[in-house]
Amino acid sequence: MSTPKESPKERTEESEEFPRNPEEARLDIELTRQELGDTAHALAHKLNVPARAKEQAQQRAARFKGQAQQRATQVKGQLKHGTAKATETVRGNPVPFIVSGAVAAVAVGGVITWKVRH
Range 12-25 average pLDDT = 72
Q: What is the pLDDT of residue 86?
A: 81
Q: What is the pLDDT of residue 40?
A: 92
Give the C-alpha separation, 80 to 99, whole Å. Answer: 25
Q: Name the residue type at position 108.
A: V
Give the C-alpha separation, 44 to 3, whole Å. Answer: 41
The residues, any chain, with a CB within 8 Å of residue 117's CB and separated by 6 or more, are none
| DSSP SS3 for 4 | coil
Give the C-alpha separation, 17 to 73, whole Å. Answer: 66
Residue 99: pLDDT over 90: no
The tens digit of pLDDT for each residue in 51-92 reads 889 999 999 999 999 999 999 999 999 998 888 888 888 788
